[in-house]
Amino acid sequence: MDLAAIIIVGARPGEGDSGKNPSPGIADEVFAGIPIALLDLLGKSVVHHVADRLRRAGIEAVTALTGEGAGEEGRDIQSQVSCLPANQLWRAAEEALFAYATEGIENVLLLRLGPYAEINLDALLRFHTERRQNSTAIFDQAGGPLEAAIVQAARRSDASFLLRNGLRATRLPSEPYIVPDYVNRLENARDLRRLAQDALLMRCDIRPQGREVKPGVWVGEHARIHRTARVLAPAFVGTHAKLRAASVVTRCSAVEHHAEVDCGTVLEDTTVLPYTYVGAGLDASHAVAGFGRLVHLRRDAEVEIGDARLLGTVSVSAAWRTLKGAASLAAYLPVQAVRGLVRGGHRSQPATAAQAEAEMPPTRTRPANLEPSSEPVSASNQGPQFGGDFAVVRRYGNE
């Protein structure tokens, strides 16, 4: 397939040299300041899922352009990854398209994420070729633009017009291609949660990145699930995630990589984003949690939680997590035990019997009122009498 692709992440339609957004009504498409397309969804970010789908369709040349601070998310997408200020992304996309034209690429697919759409590339290319259009915009079944298009790389004026208009309009009149398959606008946290649900229920092409340990339950590598924790299908537990004792994950919930759910907490229809700690004994339902924020989807409310015991962040560095664990252990140990560790195992010589006897403290005299009674117990006594040398110890704290 003589086709390349350019993926733009981190800029809304029309954010070019002017930096203005011609569509003020469009949703933010961010969560905690991060583009939703860069958030993890069942083990990979949305942009990774899109790039993988393009590769499976036969496109080997993929360029990803992301905003500042998001370059790591696209590091292994494919050949070219650039991290630029948002107001330069569209100009950079135009230059990348011209570079493909000089390499002899005939057509270039332009995508903004933004919306997630499962486009049949063979059908799109056939539609574009049969109608002999220089550029073809892509719309959903409701007639809304998906901010995606295919353009002949050699037609620079058509390509420039497309990019400067946010992939919403073509320079010359043309028939748009209507996507008959799955579309998710990914405008907010609700759309991200719905995409996770649809993927777990096999309603779209996205597949969880893990091993299906039982029907409908996927678990990533090195995930730690306590033997008393329950994961009910459909559900996903990501790489290095941790479910502590008596926790429950159910009803299309997803615990992304390095997230931690503490003891007794129940997750229902909830996404826990990477490196997120969810405290013990909580009940989270119909929500997206991460970066110190919780979005409740049914109430359409977003709150920032400052108490790390309820919702916190797991340390990103594995070395730092190990160091913190060692520090916690050292703080828990008795002071004398720590001193013994610091001395490096040095042991003093045992004392002789004479020295030990000389160093023994003097014997203390038992108080008179605690001396054992030598009188027999009479029948008139209401109960047995015990001497002072009798002790009772409770086996358990509640007995």
Q: Are strands 62-67 and 80-84 parallel, antiparallel or unpaired?
A: parallel
Pairwise CA distance, residues 139 & 117, whole Å: 10
Contacts of 330 (CB under 8 A, 6+ apart): 338
pLDDT given for residue 315 in this prediction: 80
Tell me: do 52 and 7 sit in the same domain.
Answer: yes
Convert 131-191 into a string of H (helix), E (strand) and C (coil): CCCCEEEEECCCCCEEEEEEEECCCHHHHHHHHHCCCCCCCCCCCCEECCCCEECCCCHHH
**Of the residues 272, 289, 313, which one is the last residue of a structural domain?**
313
220 and 136 inside one domain: no
CA distance 263 to 226: 9
Q: Residue 75: which of 42, 99, 48 has the closest Cα?
A: 48
Number of domains in the chain: 2
Residue 166 resides in a domain:
yes
Domain boundaries, position 131? 3-184
Identify whether 350 is part of a domain.
no
Other beta carbons within 10 Å of 48: 21
Examine the fold and report which residue of 149, 184, 219 is the final residue of a domain before the chain moves on: 184
Q: What is the pLDDT of residue 342?
A: 40
How far apart CA 156 and CA 122 sit, in angstroms, is: 23
Q: Kindly state the DSSP code that residue 83 receives in the 8-state scheme.
A: E
Q: Are residues 171 and 221 in the same domain?
A: no
Would residue 369 count as lying in a domain? Answer: no
Q: Which of helix, strand or coil describes residue 357?
A: helix
Please report whether residue 391 resides in a domain: no
Same domain, 23 and 99: yes
Is residue 397 situated within a structural domain? no
- SS3 call for 284: strand
- The reply to whether 132 and 275 lie within a common domain is no
Going 293 to 294 to 297 to 302, the CA torsion angle's sign is: negative
Element holding 66 (H helix, E strand): strand 62-67
Tell me the C-alpha distance between 155 and 142, whole Å.
29
Written as one string, the DSSP assignment of 223-252 is: -EE-TT-EE-SSEEE-TT-EE-TT-EEESS
The residue from 313, 333, 353 where one domain ends is: 313
Alpha carbons 42 and 36: distance in angstroms, whole number: 13
CATH number at residue 134: 3.90.550.10
pLDDT of residue 82: 53
- Same domain, yes or no: 88 and 221: no
Q: In the chain, which stretches have pLDDT less than 50? A: 15-26, 69-81, 325-326, 328-348, 350, 356, 363-384, 386, 388-399
